[in-house]
Amino acid sequence: MDRNAKAWQIALIQCDIALGNPRLNRERLADKMEQAAAAPVKPDVIVLPEMWNTGYALPQIGGLADPEGQDTRAWVSSFARNHGIHIVAGSIAEKRDGRVYNTMLMFDREGREAGAYSKIHLFRLMEEEKHLAPGEQPVLFELDGFKAGAAICYDIRFPELIRTLALNGAKALFVPAEWPHPRLHHWRTLLAARAIENQMYVIACNRTGASGNDAFFGHSLIIDPWGETVAEGGEGEEIVTGAIDLDLVGQVRERIPVFADRRPGLYEL
């Protein structure tokens, strides 16, 4: 890495989620985040999984969701500020305007909210569309002046969304997830494809454990803009760590100038 290169240490909190028990989930996560923050190499960014406050307790979700995400926002913001660590706080069930959204929250190391994104594509296989309202807006956010995009789990099956984020400046994509067996092959392949085609880092945190008929496999991943795996978790609970070189995005984009070579005028029939 050259002298101007910037590196970030990433910590992905790959953990189980207690169904319908926001208080317990927060306590467990708080412990794990303290553990991650105290690592010999302190993380620059901590990432949490999808719907970590409730899991997929969808029939009860109206009563469990965090109103306006207020409790989560206050807690995560103060953790970020007290530890000087950016937090991509996975997603939570958030109650807003009488509806419940699957909302991802991002905080910078000063504790300022850097962005909030509600999942655009609801996943029918887990009946999200019956209980949740879809988000309507793609979201970019900045941490230390570095632009990143937000996507939640099923969203990675929609390359158009991720391309839009990349075209608007995203150099990394953060992906909280609850992605179960038997689709490990899809998970790995889609994440790697999004990284390679957009020449960006893909940083994805998946839960572990089981809920109903779903067995979640972990395998949280950090993939670089060349498509190489920087770090990958196993199937159990762990804090997956890896370092990313923020200058690599520009180097890869220079080497194969995909963005300069695009011919968007020809992409419609």
Ligand X SMILES: NC(=O)CCC(=O)C(=O)O
- Could you say which residues in the range 181-240 bind ligand X, by CB under 6 A? 183, 186
> In whole angstroms, how close is the CB of 112 to ligand X at the nearest point?
28
Per DSSP, which regions of 84-152 are E strands?
Answer: 86-96, 99-107, 113-118, 140-143, 146-150
Per the annotation, the verdict on 110 as an active-site residue is: no
Per the annotation, the verdict on 50 as an active-site residue is: yes
Contact flag: residue 174 with ligand X (CB under 6 A): no
How many residues make contact with ligand X (CB under 6 A)? 11
Per DSSP, which regions of the chain are E strands?
Answer: 7-14, 45-47, 66-67, 86-96, 99-107, 113-118, 140-143, 146-150, 172-177, 201-206, 208-211, 214-217, 221-223, 229-232, 238-245
Contact flag: residue 178 with ligand X (CB under 6 A): yes
Query: CB–CB of 53/64 below 8 Å?
Result: yes
In the set 157, 193, 237, 258, which binds ligand X (CB under 6 A)? 157
Per the annotation, the verdict on 235 as an active-site residue is: no
Contact flag: residue 16 with ligand X (CB under 6 A): no
Stretch that binds ligand X, among 82-90, 143-151, 173-181, 256-264 (CB under 6 A): 173-181
Backbone angles phi, psi at 216, to 5 degrees: -90, 135
Please identify which of the residues 32, 119, 128, 178 carries the catalytic annotation. 119
Residue labelled with tokens 């319908």 = 20
Interaction pattern, residues 96-125, with ligand X; x per rule: CB under 6 A: ---------------------------x--
- Residues binding ligand X (CB under 6 A): 50, 123, 126, 153-154, 157, 178-180, 183, 186
